[in-house]
Amino acid sequence: MEADANMRELLGLTKGTTSEECYRIWRDNIPSEYTEKVDNCVKETLEKGYADVIYPWHHPTRGKIWIRCGGVRPKDYEGTGVCIRGYHQDITKNIEREMRFRSLKAATSEIYYAIYNINLNTDYMEQISEPNKMYKIANDRGIASEKLMEFCTFQIHEDYQEEMRKFFDLLTLGERLKEKNFVSREYPNKQGIWRCALFIAQEKVPTESVTEVLYVTQIIDDYKQKELAYQQELVKALKEARIANDAKAEFLRKMSHDIRTPINGIMGMLDIEEKNWDAPERLKECHEKMKVTAGNLLQLVNDVLDMNRLETSGLEVEHKPFDIREVLRGCWTDLESQAEKMGLELEKIGVSEIECPHVVGSPMHFRQIFANILSNAVKYNKIHGKITLRVDMVSRTEDDVVYRFSVSDTGIGMSEEFQKHIFETFTQEDTGARTVYRGTGLGMAISKKLVDTLGGTIKIKSKKDVGSTFILVLPFAIDRGFENVSVQSEAEMSNVEGMHVLLVEDNELNLEIARYLLEESGVQVTAAKNGQEALDIFEQSGEQEIDLILMDIMMPVMDGLEATRRIRTCTHPRGATVPIIAISANAFADDIQKAKNAGMNEHLAKPFEMEKVLRAISRYHKV
């Protein structure tokens, strides 16, 4: 094998290499798995006159390279033996480029299901990805502008075809790619499956127009469905936010009216008082009206706070023993004065005959439910009307009992349409009647949430101008530990004369009122304006000097909870046992629990109701 200078350089040979050495070095550096292929090429050349082969070859200094080797058997050779004129071409760069392309094609095929090369100058496109019968544009190659428009017509959803025709316009594509490396559009196909189409510029030169692009398509249905669902959630959230904002505005409007009205009434009564100091009857009448109005204002605040609590923090259900009859009696007693003024008659059926009145449950919430229902029965009744309260046992086991309670009135009733919304917040059938039937529109919404939490049901039957009936079914656990203990009389319960009370209150007006009312009842009062003062006074007092502590919760310097904890652990002989009663505006269940956890004996909610305070104090009176 005679080699020219280029051949010797390619084989890594010197100028003086013999023909035999040249052949041996070429032959020995062909990988064994390719020798048969090379030999076949030589045979084919001898038989047919021409053949070529590609194979790797080990270069003495460069290592592995790729060679295209071909030969021609000249017909005009007249010498002895056989002559082949051949070439030995280094195609390593071409092979490496081809391998990178295959690797890229394999990688992109994982992302894109169709890859086409488009020449913008010739308007020609050719598929370069693996054939995909399901997602072919048409054939593997052809006139690009025609095939893209056909694809748009037959594959893309009708609602997106106009937009995609603009995207597929190859006449404007070069201009669109001037400042970008790619442009893309998302679209659904005829079956609603979302895809993303991209034109990607190849070998982009800033000063020159793009001449070749890749057109690729990617399925994005999962991502797009999630995006569309998220968008729907955003639209829904925006709608709900607008509704909530409107409700908030309406709520503030109602609250402005309902809070200003009683305040205006109280201020008006004060003006009347100033002009009637010498008319005792007139003053008494003003005081009574102010007391009722202040009670209405307090109920308004309680309703708003209760509703907020139920919607944000949920409800902590108590499990305490109580007498159903006592709770019902108390609810009616609170409304008796108003009912008498309207001449209302109360009929009770089955209340006194309740078979298992002593139950375990949440008396506070049970009372709240019936206070709302009975309050409405009075408020929306007619003069000289009637209210009927009926109790029936639905079922009973050894440990549990279920009662049905119904409250009927002869009032103004409700329309069928309003009955569908009565348990929604801030609902009143006739908002124009707010000056006659005042309220927040929260009472029944609160009652419904309380009933649901207690595991019961509440329904309503009503007819306009005839009246309404609320039917409530509630389960209770039977109080097996009940003992018929004699109850102290009111006089015994309120006997507080001679007691020494440490009153802790940071508000000067509240302190003045509480001190006056306590001293009027025969209580000796020592005052402190914060928890630290209370702690100091108690620690310096005699062993039997202070009988009880009335403790506010929220105070400067030291709050009531911390002061209670300090008193319970101080060195005073009665620090661990002195009765401490919380009097706080924080009256939710967890506030009560925090007070008990700090070491307090009881919790009374503000405003300061002297009858309840005296009754609580009397329980700790030393006899």
Q: What 3 state SS string does 110-147 have?
A: HHCCEEEEEECCCCEEEECCCCCCCCCCCCCEEEHHHH
| CB-based contact 182:200 (threshold 8 Å) | yes
pLDDT at 437: 42
Long-range contacts of 110-113 (CB under 8 A, 24+ apart): 111/218, 112/216, 112/217, 112/218, 113/217, 113/218, 113/219
> At 61, is the secondary structure helix, strand, or coil?
coil
| Whether residue 428 has pLDDT greater than 80 | no
**β-pair type (400-409, 386-396):** antiparallel
Token pair recorded at residue 502: 């440490």
**Cα–Cα distance, 613 to 608 (Å, whole number):** 8
At 317, which amino acid appears? V
Please state, for a pLDDT cut of 90, what percent of the chain lies above it: 29
Q: What is the DSSP string of 323-365?
A: EHHHHHHHHHHHHHHHHHHHT-EEEEESSTT-S--EEEE-HHH
Q: Quick: pLDDT tens for 519-566.
A: 998 999 999 999 999 999 999 999 889 999 999 999 999 999 999 999
Q: Quick: pLDDT tens for 379-421.
A: 889 999 999 999 999 999 989 999 999 999 999 888 888 888 7
Given pLDDT bands bounded at 50, 70 and 90, which one contains residue 92? confident
Given pLDDT bands bounded at 50, 70 and 90, which one contains residue 255? low
pLDDT at 277: 87
> Which CATH number is 226-308's, of 1.10.1370.30, 2.70.70.10, 1.10.287.130, 3.30.565.10?
1.10.287.130
> Which CATH number is 316-478's, of 3.40.50.720, 3.30.565.10, 3.40.50.1970, 3.30.300.30?
3.30.565.10
At 302, which amino acid appears? N
pLDDT at 105: 58
**Cα–Cα distance, 297 to 305 (Å, whole number):** 13
| Whether residue 306 has pLDDT greater than 80 | no
pLDDT at 172: 92
Strand blocks (E) in 555-608: 580-584, 602-605
pLDDT, mean of residues 322-332 = 86
Which residues 6+ apart lie within 8 Å of 533 measured at CB?
504, 557
pLDDT at 432: 45
DSSP state of 601: S
pLDDT, mean of residues 41-56 = 89
| CB-based contact 164:187 (threshold 8 Å) | yes
pLDDT, mean of residues 570-598 = 87
Given pLDDT bands bounded at 50, 70 and 90, which one contains residue 297? confident
**Which of 370-379, 566-575, 587-596 is the most confident on average?**
566-575
User: For the chain, which residues make up each domain, given as ranges?
Assistant: 5-90, 97-219, 226-308, 316-478, 490-618
Bridge partners of 503, per DSSP, are 527, 550
Q: Quick: pLDDT tens for 133-156.
A: 445 554 567 899 999 999 899 889
pLDDT at 532: 96
CA angle 372, 376, 377 (to 5 degrees): 115
Angle subtended by helix axes 363-379 and 443-453, to nearest 10: 150
Name the one residue in this structure whose structure tokens are 């679209």.
Answer: 187
Alpha carbon 127 to its chain's center: 48
**Which of 7-21, 42-56, 222-236, 249-263 is the most confident on average?**
42-56
Between 468 and 17, where is the model more confident?
Answer: 468
Q: Quick: pLDDT tens for 58-75.
A: 988 888 888 888 888 888
| Whether residue 289 has pLDDT greater than 70 | yes
| Whether residue 619 has pLDDT greater than 90 | no
Token pair recorded at residue 224: 């797009």
Go through 11-48 and write b for each residue having 16 or more CB atoms within 10 A of its CB, e for each that does not. Answer: bebeeeeeeeebeebbeebbeeeeeeebeebbeebeee
**Average confidence score pLDDT of the chain:** 83
**Cα–Cα distance, 621 to 304 (Å, whole number):** 37
pLDDT at 597: 92
> At 475, is the secondary structure helix, strand, or coil?
strand
Look at phi and psi of residue 388 and say left if phi exceeds 0, alpha if psi is from -120 to 50, else beta: beta
| Whether residue 369 has pLDDT greater than 80 | yes
**Cα–Cα distance, 289 to 262 (Å, whole number):** 10
**β-pair type (358-361, 345-349):** unpaired
Name the one residue in this structure whose structure tokens are 């507080």.
Answer: 496
| Whether residue 505 has pLDDT greater than 50 | yes
Measuring CA to CA, which residue among 358, 390, 356 is closest to residue 373? 390
Measuring CA to CA, which residue among 228, 225, 220, 175 is closest to residue 199? 175
| CB-based contact 501:523 (threshold 8 Å) | yes
**Which of 251-265, 334-348, 544-558 is the most confident on average?**
544-558
pLDDT at 547: 94
Name the one residue in this structure whose structure tokens are 């009205």.
Answer: 261
Q: 343 to each of 372, 395, 465, how far by Cα in Å?
A: 20, 36, 18
97-219 has the same fold as 5-90:
yes
Q: For the ranges 21-35, 178-192, 276-290, 306-320, which has the lowest average pLDDT?
A: 306-320
Phi, psi of 472 (to 5 degrees): -125, 130
Question: How long, in residues, is the chain?
Answer: 623
Q: Which CATH architecture has domain 490-618?
A: 3-Layer(aba) Sandwich (3.40)
pLDDT at 257: 60
Q: Which CATH architecture has domain 97-219?
A: 2-Layer Sandwich (3.30)
Torsion (CA) 119, 123, 126, 127 in degrees, nearest 10: 90
pLDDT at 7: 84
Phi, psi of 399 (to 5 degrees): -115, -20
pLDDT, mean of residues 294-312 = 66
| Whether residue 581 has pLDDT greater than 50 | yes
Domain 5-90 has CATH 3.30.450.40: no
Between 7 and 427, where is the model more confident?
Answer: 7
